[in-house]
Structure 1
Amino acid sequence: MFKGLISNNMAEKVFDLLDEMEINPNSFTLAILFKACAELVNDRAIKIGRKLLDEMPENYRNDVVVLTSAMHMLMKFGDIQSAERYVGNEMFERASDLFEQIHLNFDSVTYTVVFNACAGLANDRAMKIEKKLLAKMPENYRNDNITSTSAIDMLMKFGDVESAERIFRSIKAKGAIIYGALMNGYNLNGESWKCFKIFEEMKEKDIIPDEIVWNILIGACSKSGMLHHCQYIVKQIPLNIQNKIRIQNALIDMWGKCGSIENAKNVFNLVVDRDTITYTAMINAFGLNGMGSQAAELYREMPNNLRDHVSQICVLNACSHAGLLHEARTIFNEISLKTESIITTMVDCLSRLFMFDEAQK
C-alpha cells in the first residue's frame, strides 16, 4: 500500500496511514518510508525520517537497501554529515552497486557525499566509481562549488592532479573554497610550488582567502622551506587571521622548517592560549634547528595535561639529534604510556650514540 501511494505521488498519505496503523515497520517498509521522506522534504517528513532512523532496530543497520534509502533521505534533507556517517568502507562498496540498480537520480548533494566517500576509500573500486560518476555528472553540477570541491579533493587523493586541474579550470564562478581544495591537493601531491601561482590568480580576481586557504598556503611554505616564500605570504595575512591559534600554530611550524627560529619564537610568544599543537610545533622547531636543550626545556614547561605521544616523540627526536642522551633517557623513563613509536624513537637515539646494547633491550 505504501509503495502504491508513493508511486502515485501521494507521499503525504503514507504518513497519515503510518500514524493510524501503529505498526513496527519492517526493513521493506522502512526503505519505502525513507523514500517518502526524501520526496517530501518538509518539516513533517524531516521529523518522521529522523525518528524512524533513531528508532531503527540494530539488525536493519546492516541492510544495504534500508541504509541506501536512509542515506538518500539524509542527503535530500541537506544533512551531508549524517549521511556520510553511514558510508563505511564495506557498506559503501555494497551500496554503490545498489545506487546503480535502483537508478537513483543523483543531485548535487548525492554527488558530494559519494565523492567524499570515494576520497575516503581511495582504492581501485572507488576510482572506478568516480570515473563513472564524473562522466555522467551534468554540466550544471560542475559549476556548483561544493560538489566540484568534493570532486577535486577526491581526484587529488587519487593522485590524479591533471583531472582535478581540468575540473578547476572548467568552473566559471570560483570561490575561495575551490582554490583551497586545489592548493591542498598540490600539497598532498608534492607540488606545493603551484600553490603560489594559484594564490596570485586569486589576487588578480579579487578573491579573498579565508582562514583555511591561508592555512593551506602556510603549509605550502613549510613544504617548500624557502624563506622568501614564507616572508612574502606572511606579509599578506590579515592581522585578524594571524591572531587565530590554528594559523599561529602553522606559522610556528613553517618558520621552524625554513630555519627562522627567532620568527617561530616570536609567534609562539604571541599565542595567548597555547594548546598541545602550539608546544609541539615549537619543540619540533627547536629540534629541527639543532636546539635540543631548548626543546627539552620547553617540554618541561609544557603542562602535563597537554603532553601527548607526538610531543614526546618530538622532544626525544630533538634530544637524539643534539646528542643529549641523559635528557632523552630521563624523559623516556618519565613517559607512562610508551607507544611503539616512542620506543622506536628512543632506540634511534641510543643507536645514534652507539649505545647498541641498551638499544637492543
Structure 2
Amino acid sequence: MISLVMFRRILSIQSSSKQIYTIMKKLSQNSLNNSSTQTPLFQLYIQRHDINNAYRLFLKITNKSNYIYTTMIKGLISNNMLDKVLDLFDEMKIQPSRITLTMLFSVCARINDDRAKQTGRKFLNEMSKDFLNDNILLNSAINMLMKFGDVKNAEDLFQIIKKKDIITYGAMMKGYTLNKMCDKALDLFEQIELNLSNVSYSIIFNACAQLSNDRAKQIGRRLFDEIPENFKVNKYIQSSAIDMLMKFGDIKNAEILFKMFEQKDIITYGAMMKGYNINNEPLKSLKLFEEIKKNELKIDEIISLILIDTCAKIGIRSICESAVNRFPSYLYNNQYICNALISMWGKAGLVKNAQLIFESVDQPDVITYNAMINAYGKNRMGLEAIDLYRKMPNNLRNEISYICILNACSHSGLLDEAYSIFNEISHKTQQVITTMVDCLSRLFLFDEAKQLIEDYEKCNAPYSVMYMALLSGARNSRQTHLSQEIHKRMQLLFPNEKNHLISASILLCNISSSLGDHEEAQALRLDRIKEFGNKVKAGLSWTEVNGEVVQFTAHDQSHPRSKEIYAEAQRISAELIKYGHVHDASWITRPLGEHETAESVLCSHSERLAIAFNFIEGRKPSFIQITNNLRVCGDCHQATKLIAKIRQVEIVVRDANCIHHFSTNGTCSCQDHF
C-alpha cells in the first residue's frame, strides 16, 4: 500500500492520468475517501481539464465546501456542461457563496429554459440579505432576469442597489435593449453621472441602432463624437458604431470610420458588410468579401451568413454559386447555414437547389421547414408549399409557418386553400391576420379584407400594416375611392407612423397618375414633401453578364457603355411595337418632361436597361436574370413577357413581391397576378 503522504507527493509532480490511476489502485478505500486525498486529486483533474474524472470524484466527496463547488462549477462552465451546473445546485446541501451564486445566475441566463428560470429564481429568492450589497452578484442577477424577460423584477433589483456602478447601469441598459425597450435604455443612459466603459458605448450604440429615430440619432452621433481616443481602437466599439451609423442610413460616415481602422478584423468586416446589406448596397458587401479573401482572414459562421444574405439580395444565380463554392466544407453541417442557403436559393429562383439542401438536413427544424415553404411561395409553387406544410409536424408549426404558407397561397391565387389553412389556425396573431388581409386584397376581395380588419379591431388596436396591405391591393386594381378612404383613415389612426404614411401617400399618388390625373398626383406629392421631406426609395435593378454584376437605376447613364445600352433598349422597343405592344402610360407616376414620351420613360426603367445590357454586342443569351428592389410595373411586366417570346430567352425577374419566371412562350409564372 502507498501512504497518503507518498500519494500527495506523487500528485505534486508531473504524472500522467494513467500513472495516477495506476497508483490509485494501490491505495486503500479509506484513503480514497479521505478529504486530504480527494481535494488535491480533484484540483489536479481540474488543472488538467480532465473534467469527467473531476466530476466523478466530485460526486464521491461527502463534505463539499463552497470552494469545491466553485471549482467544479468553473470547470463545467469552461467545458460548456451547463446543465450539470444546475444538477449540482439541485443537490446542494450548503448555503452557496456569493461567487457560486454569481456563476449560477450567469449559467441560468445562458441556458434560459424553464428549468434554468425555476432554478435561478429559486436561489435569487432564497439569497441572504447580506448579499444585497454585492454589486457583482446583483449585476449577474439583473442580467439573468433580463434574459428571462422579467424586466419588472430586474428594475426592482436595480432600485435596491445603493451604489450603482457603470456595470450595473450597463446590465440594465443591455437588458432593456434585449427586451426591445430601447427608449428606456436611453432614458437610463441620460441619468448616468459616471464615466462610461467601453462596454457602455457598445450598449448605447446598439440601443440607438435599434431605435433609429430622431432622438436615437441625436444621442448616438453626439456620443460617437465624444468618444475618448483610447476607446476608438476597441473593435467592439468600432463595430457597434458602424452598425449604428448604417442603421441610421449614414453610409458615408460609416465608410469613413471603416477606412480609419489600420487593422481590420473579421468582426469589423462583418459589421460593414451587414450595414451595406441593410442599406441595399449588396455589391459593396460582395466587394468587401473579396477583401476578406485577399487578406486571408478566416471565414466564420457569421461572415458566411452575412455573405449568404448578400447573395440573396443580389439574387443572381451565378453570384450565389460562386460565393457558396468558397465556403469551408464543415459549414454545410451547420443548420443555420443550411437554412440560410435554402432561403438564398429560393430568392435566386433555383428551387431545386433549395430542395437539395432541405433534403440533406436529417431532422429539419421549424426554421428549415419555414425556409423551404417560403422558397416555394416566392416562386409561385403554392401547391408544393401546401404539400410540405401538411407534412410538417403540427407541433413544429409557429407564427412564421402560418405566414409563409398563407403568403404562398396568396402568390399562387389559391384562395380556398388559404381560407382552409387560416380557419385551422387556433391562435391567429396580428401578423397572421395581416397576411390573410394581404391575400384577400391581392385577389381584390376588399369587402372580406375590410371585414377581417373590423373583426380584429373589436378587441385590438388598429394595425397600420393591415391598411397598407389593403391599400396595395386597391392600388393594383386602381380603385380611387377605396384608396382615398384607406389613406384618410390611416392619417387619422396613425398620425405618428411616418414611414407608412409616406408609403401610403406614394401609392395614392401612383393611382392618380395611372388614371391620368397628374394634377391630383402632383398635389399629393407636394403635400407629402411638405410634411415628410422628399424621401422616396429609388428603384434598383441588378443583373450579371460575363462575371460582371451591374446595378441600374431608372434613366441610368452611369455605365461606361450607356450609349450602347440605350441603343439596344430602343431596338427592343421597336420590336415590341412591331409585335403589337402599346406602351401603357398609366404606369408612369409623374408628368412627362418636355422632351419625353411614354415610350422613352418606360423603356428607361431600371429592369429594361438591365435586359438591354444582356443583349449588347449582339449577344444572344438563353437565360437572363434580374433582381429589382421594388415591384415591377405593369408595362415592364407585359414587355418582358413579349421580349422572352420574341428573342427566345428565359428571363427570371425577382421583384419586392415575388419571383417572375418569363417563358419563351410569352407567359409568366405569376399568371399576371402581381
Give TM-score scaled by structure 2 length. Answer: 0.42
Question: SS of the residue aligned with 2:275?
Answer: helix
Contact 1:68 1:95 in 2 (8 A): no
In 1, the alpha carbon distance for the partners of 2:362 and 2:447 equals: 45
Q: For the structure 1 residues 69 and 127, does the alpha-carbon distance in structure 2 shift closer, same or farther, using more than 3 Å as the test?
A: farther
Partner of 1:97: 190
Q: For the structure 1 residues 144 and 339, does the alpha-carbon distance in structure 2 shift closer, same or farther, using more than 3 Å as the test?
A: same
Matches within 5 A, 1:212-231: 212-231=302-321
Partner of 1:157: 247
State whether structure 2 residue 281 is matched by structure 1 residue 191. yes
Question: SS of the residue aligned with 1:98?
Answer: coil
Contact 2:403 2:435 in 1 (8 A): yes
Partner of 1:35: none
Partner of 1:204: 294
Partner of 2:426: 336
Q: For the structure 1 residues 47 and 306, does the alpha-carbon distance in structure 2 shift closer, same or farther, using more than 3 Å as the test?
A: farther
Q: Deviations over 1:62-95 (max 9, x none)?
A: 79998896360348xxxx6665115654443333
Contact 2:342 2:358 in 1 (8 A): yes
In 2, the alpha carbon distance for the partners of 1:73 and 1:174 equals: 28
The Cα of 1:357 is off from its aligned counterpart by 5.8
Q: Deviations over 1:317-345 (max 9, x none)?
A: 21222232332222122111123433343
Contact 1:143 1:172 in 2 (8 A): no
Q: Deviations over 1:243-280 (max 9, x none)?
A: 21111000000000110011000000111221111111
The Cα of 1:119 is off from its aligned counterpart by 1.9
Matches within 5 A, 1:277-292: 277-292=367-382
Q: For the structure 1 residues 210 and 70, does the alpha-carbon distance in structure 2 shift closer, same or farther, using more than 3 Å as the test?
A: farther
Identity fraction in percent = 46
The Cα of 1:146 is off from its aligned counterpart by 1.0
The Cα of 1:188 is off from its aligned counterpart by 1.0
State whether structure 2 residue 384 is matched by structure 1 residue 294. yes
Partner of 1:177: 267
In 2, the alpha carbon distance for the partners of 1:68 and 1:231 equals: 58
Q: Deviations over 1:91-128 (max 9, x none)?
A: 433333333xx3x3333222222222222332222222
Partner of 1:72: 166
Match of residue 404, structure 2, among 289, 306, 314:
314
Provide the aligned length of Structure 1 versus Structure 2. 308
Letter in 1 for 2:220: E
In 1, the alpha carbon distance for the partners of 2:289 and 2:448 equals: 51
Letter in 1 for 2:237: T
Structure 2 residue runs without a partner (length 5+): 1-130, 143-151, 452-674
Letter in 2 for 1:286: Y
The Cα of 1:218 is off from its aligned counterpart by 0.4
Contact 1:64 1:91 in 2 (8 A): no
The Cα of 1:60 is off from its aligned counterpart by 10
Deviates more, 1:285-294 or 1:342-351: 342-351
Deviates more, 1:117-126 or 1:81-90: 81-90
Letter in 2 for 1:70: K
The Cα of 1:282 is off from its aligned counterpart by 0.5
In 2, the alpha carbon distance for the partners of 1:215 and 1:263 equals: 17
State whether structure 2 residue 359 is matched by structure 1 residue 269. yes
Give the helix-richer structure, 1 or 2: 1
Q: For the structure 1 residues 71 and 315, does the alpha-carbon distance in structure 2 shift closer, same or farther, using more than 3 Å as the test?
A: farther
Partner of 1:48: 134
Question: SS of the residue aligned with 1:247?
Answer: helix
Q: Deviations over 1:13-69 (max 9, x none)?
A: xxxxxxxxxxxxxxxxxxxxxxxxxxxxxxxx99921345559xx899479998896
Letter in 2 for 1:206: E
Letter in 2 for 1:267: I
Contact 2:132 2:138 in 1 (8 A): no
Q: For the structure 1 residues 256 and 81, does the alpha-carbon distance in structure 2 shift closer, same or farther, using more than 3 Å as the test?
A: farther
Q: For the structure 1 residues 323 and 170, does the alpha-carbon distance in structure 2 shift closer, same or farther, using more than 3 Å as the test?
A: same
In 2, the alpha carbon distance for the partners of 1:69 and 1:119 equals: 29
Partner of 2:347: 257
In 1, the alpha carbon distance for the partners of 2:297 and 2:162 equals: 38
In 2, the alpha carbon distance for the partners of 1:60 and 1:130 equals: 25
Partner of 2:82: none
Q: For the structure 1 residues 134 and 68, does the alpha-carbon distance in structure 2 shift closer, same or farther, using more than 3 Å as the test?
A: farther
Question: SS of the residue aligned with 1:70?
Answer: coil
Matches within 5 A, 1:118-157: 118-157=208-247
Contact 1:183 1:195 in 2 (8 A): yes
In 2, the alpha carbon distance for the partners of 1:115 and 1:61 equals: 21
In 2, the alpha carbon distance for the partners of 1:198 and 1:111 equals: 26
Question: SS of the residue aligned with 2:190?
Answer: helix
Q: For the structure 1 residues 277 and 81, does the alpha-carbon distance in structure 2 shift closer, same or farther, using more than 3 Å as the test?
A: farther
Letter in 2 for 1:94: D
Letter in 1 for 2:185: F
Deviates more, 1:64-73 or 1:331-340: 64-73
Contact 1:65 1:98 in 2 (8 A): no
Letter in 1 for 2:264: K
In 2, the alpha carbon distance for the partners of 1:123 and 1:352 equals: 32
Letter in 2 for 1:73: I
In 2, the alpha carbon distance for the partners of 1:127 and 1:195 equals: 24
Contact 1:71 1:86 in 2 (8 A): no
Letter in 1 for 2:336: R
Structure 1 residue runs without a partner (length 5+): 1-44
In 2, the alpha carbon distance for the partners of 1:221 and 1:185 equals: 14
Contact 1:64 1:94 in 2 (8 A): no
Q: For the structure 1 residues 67 and 149, does the alpha-carbon distance in structure 2 shift closer, same or farther, using more than 3 Å as the test?
A: farther
In 2, the alpha carbon distance for the partners of 1:68 and 1:145 equals: 33
Contact 2:269 2:288 in 1 (8 A): yes
Give TM-score scaled by structure 1 length. Answer: 0.76
In 1, the alpha carbon distance for the partners of 2:357 and 2:450 equals: 40
Letter in 2 for 1:113: I
Letter in 2 for 1:155: L
Q: CA RMSD in A?
A: 3.0
In 1, the alpha carbon distance for the partners of 2:162 and 2:244 equals: 21
In 1, the alpha carbon distance for the partners of 2:346 and 2:154 equals: 52
Contact 2:382 2:411 in 1 (8 A): yes
Q: For the structure 1 residues 136 and 174, does the alpha-carbon distance in structure 2 shift closer, same or farther, using more than 3 Å as the test?
A: same
Letter in 1 for 2:262: K
Letter in 2 for 1:110: S
Partner of 2:672: none
Partner of 1:7: none
In 2, the alpha carbon distance for the partners of 1:92 and 1:359 equals: 38
Does 1 or 2 have the higher relative contact order (CA < 8 Å, sep 6+)?
Answer: 1
Q: Deviations over 1:173-193 (max 9, x none)?
A: 211111111111111111111
Contact 2:173 2:188 in 1 (8 A): no
Letter in 2 for 1:255: W
